[in-house]
Amino acid sequence: MPIRKVYENSIEFVQVMDEQGVIDERLGKDLLSDEQITFLYEKMVEYRRLDEIAFTLQRSGRMYTYPQNKGQEAAALGSGFALRKGVDWLVPCYRENGALFLHGLPPELIFLHWMGDERGNAIPAGVNVTPIAIPIGTQMLHATGMAWAFKQRKEDRVVCTYFGDGATSEGDFHEAMNFATTFKVPCIFFCQNNQWAISVPREQQMASETVAQKGFAYGARSIQVDGNDLLAVYKVTLEARERARAGEGPTIIEAVTYRLGDHTTADDARRYRDSEEVAAWAQKDPMIRLRKYLEGKGLWNDAKQQVVEDRAKAFCSEIVKKSEGIAKPDVNDMFDYLYAEMPEELRRQKETLRTHSLGQDPSQAGLRSSAASAR
């Protein structure tokens, strides 16, 4: 029998706006209006400022460990803007603040989460966002299950789950991809490839040249995008959303970006990253790119920048005030919000604040003295 080729594929890399803020007119035509780009740039400034404030709060002992989003804002905002608020669902990791805020998540909840207050995970009704996921990769399984349920119910919804390059080395990623593609669920797998899985560079944790090509093993549409190009991210996410709605199954998007900060505030990336590498990526900062575009179109100047930065400061001050000024939780909360209907055993614990039987019923103490007298 002759040898024949049974499979062949390739990965497309999509870029609409280059690092100098110049748009490819063919790809960028009618993609986003200047008003929309301006809006998203202003949000980027606000959220970058919020990120810096969170870092400061942690360093001053007012917040626990925090993962900065700095440098990855275009990936979050571009994808979030392409999804339908109140219809589609976002299942995040922990570097998608911009997308979550666009979809209605109150920013103070993110602060509360990292301050160790469980109320930060109480997502308001109508906000189609799940709590941020700290375990690496588990949220992809949740997203796949949600998307399958929407398909079964014939609901016009798409689920977008976010994760890092390191998560694709976890078994959860492969199980989720296999199920999602086999059943063609309306799910987008959005990988923020920021080049580092904590201190391990991408090339040391996988042999594949790209993250996106891993989707080929499961039959997913796989694409790579400039993750610092907000327009390109918006474009590929919008296309993935429409494919999912049309019943064509999942898309895996690899957004090539960079983590400009440490992995978290508990990390010191200077121990393992080359300063020249960081400096080179800093020149690709998505915020710089967008500002160059707006300035080139005559839509931006220093005066407008100052107005937005002043507004960002006021916005952040309000968020800090809300998160630090929240009332202390009531001790009964641990009982009241555990079950829909409180079990009898839990009711006794709540009333006595004791778990042992003597604490719950002190009259039993008399039984002990009676037993001693009998002896």
Q: Which of 202, 259, 289, 291 is catalytic?
A: 259
Q: Does a structural domain hold residue 138?
A: yes
Q: Give kind and range of the element (H or E) at residue 27.
A: helix 25-28
Residues 233 and 364 in one domain: no
Q: Which of 59, 270, 272, 368 is catalytic?
A: 272
Interatomic CA distance for residues 302 and 315, integer angstroms = 20
pLDDT of residue 83: 98
**What's the pTM value of the predicted model, to 2 decimals?**
0.91
Contact 258, 74 (CB under 8 A): no
Q: What CATH number is attached to the domain comprising 272?
A: 3.40.50.970
Q: What is the mean pLDDT of each run of 10 residues along the chain (375 residues)?
A: 90 97 94 97 98 97 97 98 98 97 98 96 96 96 98 98 97 98 98 96 93 97 98 98 98 98 96 96 96 97 98 97 94 87 90 75 63 54
Q: Does a structural domain hold residue 239?
A: yes
Q: Which of 157, 263, 289, 291 is catalytic?
A: 263
DSSP tag of 64: -
pLDDT of residue 367: 54
Residues 111 and 201 in one domain: yes
Q: Does a structural domain hold residue 186?
A: yes
Please give the C-alpha separations between residue 261 and each of 69, 71, 134, 168, 300, in angstroms, as whole numbers: 8, 8, 18, 21, 27
Q: Does a structural domain hold residue 134?
A: yes
| Total structural domains within the chain | 2
Sign of torsion over alpha carbons 204, 207, 210, 215: negative
Residues 109 and 210 in one domain: yes
The two tokens of residue 156 are 């016009």
Residues 290 and 344 in one domain: no
Range of the domain at 260: 13-324
DSSP tag of 90: E
Residues 280 and 350 in one domain: no
- Other beta carbons within 10 angstroms of residue 162's beta carbon come to 30
Residues 271 and 246 in one domain: yes
- HEC profile for 246-288? CCCCCEEEEEECCCCCCCCCCCCHHHCCCHHHHHHHHCCCHHH
174 is catalytic: no
pLDDT of residue 331: 86
Q: Does a structural domain hold residue 5?
A: no
272 is catalytic: yes
Q: Does a structural domain hold residue 149?
A: yes
Residues 346 and 294 in one domain: no
259 is catalytic: yes
pLDDT of residue 361: 75
